[in-house]
Amino acid sequence: AMIALRQLLDHAAEHGYGVPAFNINNMEQIHAIMQAAAETASPVILQASAGARGYAGEAFLRHMVAAAVEEWPDIPICLHQDHGASPAVCQQAIRSGFTSVMMDGSLREDMKTPASWDYNVSVTRRVVDMAHAVGVSVEGELGCLGSLETGQAGEEDGVGAEGTLDHSQMLTDPAQAADFVAATGVDALAVAIGTSHGAYKFTRPPTGDILDIDRIAAIHRRIPDTHLVMHGSSSVPQEWLAIIREHGGEIGETYGVPVEAIVAGIRNGVRKVNIDTDLRLAMTGAMRRLLDQDRKEFDPRKVFRAATAAAREICRARFEAFGCAGQA
Ligand code: G3H
Ligand code: 13P
Ligand code: NA
Ligand code: ZN
């Protein structure tokens, strides 16, 4: 059944676990997430970006999620709009049956220019008014995501500030977070604590202090009833990078957020953990390997099945590590 983000994360807070929010674009990713959720009895957050709706088409996404609800009636499913660039995007998502929307007012509508406080409060407040009227939850974002190591937002052509960010822009201030929640009424807040989007987060194996976990705790103390969201939470598995390289791919040395760092975040108040890149890497690795090893194969189902299995393993591992398993 469908569930709003607020209800799902209230349960997570009460029981002290985190829920991975995986990005969906196609049937295989939905299968992978739902199969892993069923195996582990986990509630799920399926999140779709504007890019996902452009790729699959609004009707296909909506009907594929409806199919998941029908196929797995016992798994609570939250359908969330990831990084809504404007109130209009969020309104479309609500009309499509999403039970949660993110208004990302930390950036202007171009999703590249850091936005002013007033802009962020005003667009987010508008979305909260609209969404809450129909029982839909809202995630806002305060602070610009960026790697504390590289000063980069990550994603070259997607969501993320352009150019190099300074430390203060990249870290959410706890007092401002409290003011932002009071001014907007969001259910969940994405915070900047040193993660960035995409595969290129860190150039060296991350050390214990690569994320500002103390800041998560400080923010959580100020806004205990608002659920904290960690974007850019892919771990960039080195074993999948090796498989991609072994089978003709060219991805340079790079590192992600260790699962233990995410678990530390969850212990300090993180409830929603956004993951996209890890599924992309695992699916690409599995497809490259299969096509490389069986050069006569041309049935896409065999290729996509391998991709689905690889993504499912990542999902299962995250459901278990975040304490989400057994909570459905
Ligand atoms: O934050 C961005 C997500 O990874 C979605 O990426 O805009 O390429 O679908 P996308
Ligand atoms: P990753 O690129 O680390 O998977 O982050 C995804 C994300 O934050 C989607 O909103
Ligand atoms: Na989101
Ligand atoms: Zn994100």
Using the mean position of ligand 3's atoms as its centre, give its distance from the Cα of residue 214 in Å: 22
Is the full-model pTM beyond 0.80? Answer: yes
With contact defined as beta carbons under 8 Å apart, do 250 and 199 qualify? no
| Mean confidence (pLDDT) of the chain | 96
- Domains annotated for the chain, with CATH where assigned, are 5-321 (3.20.20.70)
Q: How far apart are CA 46 and CA 50, in angstroms?
A: 13
User: What is residue 157's predicted lDDT score, i.e. its pLDDT?
Assistant: 59
Overall average pLDDT of the 99-125 stretch = 96
- Per residue in 10-20, pLDDT (tens digit) is 999 999 999 99
Nearest atom, ligand 1, residue 160 CA: 1
pLDDT-derived band of residue 204, with 50, 70 and 90 as boundaries? very high
Backbone angles phi, psi at 218, to 5 degrees: -65, -40
Quote the Cα angle for 269-220-20, to 5°: 30
List the residue whose alpha carbon is closest to atom 5 of ligand 1. 49
Q: What is the ipTM of this complex?
A: 0.97
Active site residue 118: no
- Per residue in 269-285, pLDDT (tens digit) is 999 999 999 999 999 99
- Regarding the beta carbon of 139 and ligand 2, being less than 6 Å apart is answered no
- Per residue in 19-35, pLDDT (tens digit) is 999 999 999 999 999 99
Q: How far apart are CA 33 and CA 214, in angstroms?
A: 31
